[in-house]
Structure 1
């Protein structure tokens, strides 16, 4: 065979391989941008699994929007625009350094798939009912993260004091060490995470909301509010990745108990 023909065939083959690799790389990158990344199980957290699994620095590689907590349940986590904030038990808001450890969190690389204009919600249940109607347009069997910005007549949030070993279950923590704050006339952002019913063994079914004020002085896990007006940006999620604890307590933990009622009681 002519050497020029052989060279041309080899070159064509290399170009085809390169194009295929580029396409596969693009697909993988798209999947990563449309993925929910979770640290540990909600059920393990409810049982008292509060030791850190990864660091804040590692978490930021997997997402720029989400929620969670810090080692020992040291306050509530709000991840917004790539910054990891702590709503501490004393009511303060802190930017956490990359070395802080995380026992539980859920984040995504936010990619807007839709908008919700002119939200008017009387209270928490009114808002989540409206959000349910919105995601019905996409499919309630997907996961969602919604960034909701606007004004609140008042909003009630909580944080939790850092726990020391031996850790107690989170229902007991919430009963004793929960700190509740009520704020009036607030402008800020809700980070709303949704998991479908069939994933309730991994996380809580439905909506989990954390709040951060625009001036970065108030925030926490949302217990309730009255009078909200604002807008929302929806990210529809189709991919799920999770990292689990490696300590002995997790390896031997009993997950046969139905934790739904306990989860609902603290949400």
Structure 2
């Protein structure tokens, strides 16, 4: 065969491989802009799976905004602008080191797909109802992260004291070791994560909100709010990646129980 023809065939083959590789990178999570990365299952966490699966350093490589908790349910996690904060049970806010371990979290690289101007909400349900209407414009079967910034007349947040093994189910933890804080006249950011109903076996359907004040002194899982005024940025997400625990307690866990009522009770 003519050497020129052979050389041309080799070049064509290399170009084809490059094209397939580029296409695969779009589908398998190398581009984090449109991918939700999750550590473990909400259902496993509810059952008491609190041992760390990844480190803070690992998690940060997958995005810059999200929420979760730390090994042993050591406080609430707020991920904002690439920094991973802990809202501790004593009410303090701490920047966590890269070697801290994480049993459950969701994170993405924020990519603004839309805006919500001039939000006015009288309470928590009013705000989430407005968020529901906003995502209906894009499609309620997608995942979303909404970054909501503004002023709160009142906001109620919680954190949880670190647990020791043998771990209790999270409903028991929340009943005994949950610390609730009420704050007035706060300015800050809500990280609002939404999962569609068909993903209810992997995470919680609906909205999950964590808060961090601008001065980094107040934060936690949001239980309630009053008289909010602000605006939001929407990130519509179409890809999902998850890493599972590898310990025996997870491998042998029974997932036949419907956890939806228990999840709702602690949200």
Report the 3-state secondary structure (helix = DSSP H, G, I; strand = E; otherwise coil) of the residue aligned with 2:125.
helix
Distance 1:3 1:263, change over 3 A: closer
- Deviation of 1:2 after TM superposition, in Å, equals 5.7
Alpha-carbon distance between aligned partners in 2 of 1:236 and 1:67, rounded to the nearest angstrom: 16
> 8 Å contact 2:156–2:182 — kept in the other structure?
yes
Partner of 2:221: 221
Report the 3-state secondary structure (helix = DSSP H, G, I; strand = E; otherwise coil) of the residue aligned with 1:232.
strand
Supply the RMSD in Å over aligned alpha carbons: 1.7
- Deviation of 1:32 after TM superposition, in Å, equals 2.9
1:201-212 equivalence runs, <5 A: 201-212=201-212
Distance 1:222 1:16, change over 3 A: same
The yes-or-no answer on 1:121 pairing with 2:121 is yes
Alpha-carbon distance between aligned partners in 1 of 2:220 and 2:86, rounded to the nearest angstrom: 8
Report the 3-state secondary structure (helix = DSSP H, G, I; strand = E; otherwise coil) of the residue aligned with 1:150.
strand
Alpha-carbon distance between aligned partners in 1 of 2:199 and 2:22, rounded to the nearest angstrom: 33
Return the TM-score normalized by structure 2.
0.94
Count, aligned residues: 267
> 8 Å contact 1:160–1:177 — kept in the other structure?
yes
Partner of 1:148: 148
Report the 3-state secondary structure (helix = DSSP H, G, I; strand = E; otherwise coil) of the residue aligned with 1:224.
strand
Any stretches of 5+ residues in structure 1 without a counterpart?
none
Deviations 1:133-166 (A, max 9, x none): 0000011011111100111001000000000111
Return the TM-score normalized by structure 1.
0.94
Any stretches of 5+ residues in structure 2 without a counterpart?
none
Alpha-carbon distance between aligned partners in 2 of 1:56 and 1:5, rounded to the nearest angstrom: 52
Partner of 1:80: 80
Alpha-carbon distance between aligned partners in 2 of 1:197 and 1:54, rounded to the nearest angstrom: 26
Partner of 2:174: 174
